[in-house]
A and B are shown apart, each in its own frame.
Chain A
Amino acid sequence: MLTLIVLLPLLGFVLNGVLATQLGGNRVGKNFVTVVGCGLPILSFLLAVKALLDLQAGGYVPIVETAYRWALIGRIPFEVAFYFDRLSAVMTLVVTGVGSVIHIYSVGYMAHDKSFGRFFAYLNLFLFFMLLLVLGRSMLVLFVGWEGVGLASYLLIGFWFDDLANARAGKKAFITNRIGDAGFLLGMFVLYQAFGTLNMDSINSGFAIGAAAVVPASLVGILLFIGATGKSAQIPLHVWLPDAMAGPTPVSALIHAATMVTAGVYLVARMSGVYLLAPEASAVIAIVGTATAFFAATIAIVQTDIKKVLAYSTVSQLGFMFLALGVGAYGVAIFHVVTHAFFKACLFLGAGSVIHALGGEQDVRKMGGLWKKIPLTFWTFLIATAAIAGFWPLAGFWSKDEIIWFALASERGGSPLLWAVATLTALMTAFYMFRLVWLTFFGASRMDPEVEHHVHESPLSMTGVLVVLAALSAIGGFISIPHFLEPMLPLPATHESLHHLETPLKYLAMAIAVTGVLGAWYFFGDGAKRAARVAQTFAGLHRWLSNKYYIDELYERVIGQPLVWLSDAVFLRFSDRRVIDGALNGLAALGQRSAGVLGRVQTGSLHLYAWLVLIGIVGALLWSWRHV
């Protein structure tokens, strides 16, 4: 059954990819694409629910299903096996559930696109690889899924490849991820050498029974985390995610917010057996996560593209998840993955609905006053925004509050510094999200009259999905995922002395959310005049933030240009042109020149040749006569 969950989206990819694209000559219409493209993921979701019920009936003993023996090297088999436990259950349900509703949303969003079939084929391909990733038992299968989602992400970012910028963004995402993958691969090599298997349950239990002496857990932890930084857009490999917004909005929602980017979080949670023994690696994760959360949030405050704001917000929230992982609260990180999937998918799809209504406009400076015109989009967007800002009792409050609590109180590396930065970031989150709401939906309209005239609410397939996701954002926090995962991923112990702070901190979280909203209202309520004045006062800082700390430029200077120089001057001009081409051209020139000299002997006069033959014969005869 697990095999079927994974394979159904692949079937959708094959059907849509062959029949509904140029490849098969567009044999089928949009209805077929819709039924196959949405039906199979929904079927996968239902099967995943069934699998969860089976898991429950079996007393939560992990279900293992071997689909195929890939290779047998020596006596070690490499199998494509699926592993269904509490953690994969949560991830599978999120991937197929949120994936399905985003598929349904795409029907409306992409309705007028000429490559409708190709889009659904890619989306299904993505789901297939993502399910391979979360269900694989061996790291090898996980890695295939890991690379596969990277491929699907690349294909979908560059979906509208006629625009060079989109193609370039896809390439950037792909290449940045390769850097992380190198770390992941090295981690796998180290583990394989130490354990002789890549099955993650065996590796975890291997570390638990004290095989840690064989291989330093921190080394493995850091290497795997490098992989996670690539996929989950953490500093220093975060640069690809904001650019990935070049893809269609449902893609941003599904891949670059809800599912794929959380693969790194899943990986670390899955390998928690390693990280429990690797306090150094955990500390690195916590610091990188916190730093990412903070810096991404500061950038989000000044972005003017609605999707870019959400993208930086995603990077920031992923930072929160890694903070949770770093302080040992693996279940809480997965909890935030789930709630974040709900509200960020809702936000992206809401943004998609806004963009759809405005005919492709993404700049918030050209929006405003939309709340009356597209009310359903507005209300769902508002609920999701309140959820991410951390209003009680919405989903984001529960997960983020727990992360912040463990950042302070965990005995596995919690510290007041992490807590302070995380709290400040939470404040900024509320601020920039409500800034976005204010600029988009409130105030006077700044749209072109032409655009304003055409503003319309999106079709039911889109708004229906928004309502579902908004409802999940509202109540998702009551699904106590950390509790559900606790038998598998126990929560870290907390410092006894801090327990009296737990309740006040909850009130503080609320106060922070309210402060963020009030701040956004204060600065952006009055036609954003105050914000503009502040931006003018701190023009230098504003420029610094608008340009994302010039990190792209820095990478270009430090890595890009030296690489180009190296490739051009050393590899191309010296090595390729001078050494290799030079050697061949030199040989050819040598042949030509010697032929020019020797060619003079060939006079074309037969008599001369005959004379030469005669002289030769006489000479040979004389020589042999003298020497024999």
Chain B
Amino acid sequence: MDRTQLLLGLAIALFSLGLLGVIVRRNVLVMLMCMELMLNGVILSLVTFAQQTATTVGAVLVFLIFVVATAEIALAIPIVLLLVRDKHTLDLGAYNDLKG
């Protein structure tokens, strides 16, 4: 098993772990962290493919994605804070106001 396959397997493992976390955990903060795991899995696969094709564009793109991810999490945390201030719980089950 060469390095590329190993890295791709790691990426898939990270993504699946994150997805599993999003699906089974009810804590909002944990779910956010799991999403970050998924994102990092995807980024790892991107870097791996960039290495394989020997282009620098992929590596540059990774930094861009980091910046966007930082901005996104900087928005997501305050939203969670506001939600918590409203309902005093991190349990996602309480936030079903959009139920049809």
A611 at the interface (CB under 8 A from B): yes
Whether B99 contacts A602 by the Cβ 8 Å rule is yes
Q: Are B23 and A614 closer than 8 Å at their CB atoms? A: yes
Residues from chain A with a CB closer than 8 A to the CB of B93 are 605
**Chain B binder among A109-117, A513-521, A593-601:** A593-601
Q: Is the CB of A602 within 8 A of B98?
A: yes
The reply on B76 being an interface residue by CB < 8 A is no
Is there contact, CB below 8 Å, between A606 and B92?
yes
Q: Are B98 and A610 closer than 8 Å at their CB atoms?
A: no
Q: Which residue of A lies closest to B96 (CB)?
A: A604
Cα separation A598 to B100 with both chains bound (whole Å): 8
Tell me the chain A residues, 6-34 only, with Cβ under 8 Å from chain B.
none
- Cβ–Cβ < 8 Å partners of B23 in chain A: 607, 610-611, 614
Number of A-B residue pairs, CB cutoff 8 Å, is 31
**Chain A residues within 8 Å of B98, by CB:** 602, 604
Nearest chain B CB to A350's CB is how many angstroms away? 83
B17 close to A (CB within 8 Å):
no
Q: Are A606 and B95 in contact (CB under 8 A)?
A: yes
CB within 8 Å of B: which A592-628 residues: 598-607, 610-611, 614
* Cβ of A557 to closest chain B Cβ, rounded Å: 58
Q: Which of A602, A607, A610, A614 has a CB less than 8 Å from the CB of B100?
A: A602
In Å, the complex CA distance between A222 and B12 comes to 96
B39 part of interface (Cβ distance < 8 Å): no
* Interface class of chain A by DSSP: helix
Return chain A residues, CB-CB under 8 Å to B92.
606-607
Q: Which residues of B contact A610 (CB under 8 A)?
A: 19, 22-23
Are A603's CB and B99's CB within 8 A? yes
Q: Whole-angstrom distance from the CB of B98 to the nearest CB of chain A?
A: 6
Query: Whole-angstrom distance from the CB of B36 to the nearest CB of chain A?
Result: 15
In the complex, whether B97 has a CB less than 8 A from a CB of chain A is: yes
Residues of A within 8 A of B31 (CB): 606
Contacting residues, chain A, for B97 (C-beta < 8 A)? 604
Interface residues of A in 226-247 (CB under 8 A from B): none
Chain B positions within 8 Å of A607 at CB level: 23-24, 26, 92
Distance in angstroms between the alpha carbons of A607 and B24 in the assembled complex: 7
B79-100 vs A: 1/0 string, CB under 8 Å? 0000000000000110111111
B19 near A614 with CB under 8 A, answer yes
Distance, CA A607 to CA B25, complexed state (A):
9
Bitwise interface map of A from 395 to 407 toward B, beta carbon under 8 Å scored 1, else 0: 0000000000000
Across the interface, name the chain B residue whose C-beta is closest to A595: B100
Nearest 3 pairs of A and B residues by beta carbon: A604-B96, A599-B100, A604-B99
Question: What are 27 A-B contacts defined by CB distance under 8 Å?
Answer: A598-B100, A599-B100, A600-B100, A601-B100, A602-B98, A602-B100, A603-B96, A603-B99, A603-B100, A604-B95, A604-B96, A604-B98, A604-B99, A604-B100, A605-B93, A605-B96, A606-B31, A606-B95, A607-B23, A607-B26, A607-B92, A610-B19, A610-B22, A610-B23, A611-B23, A614-B19, A614-B23
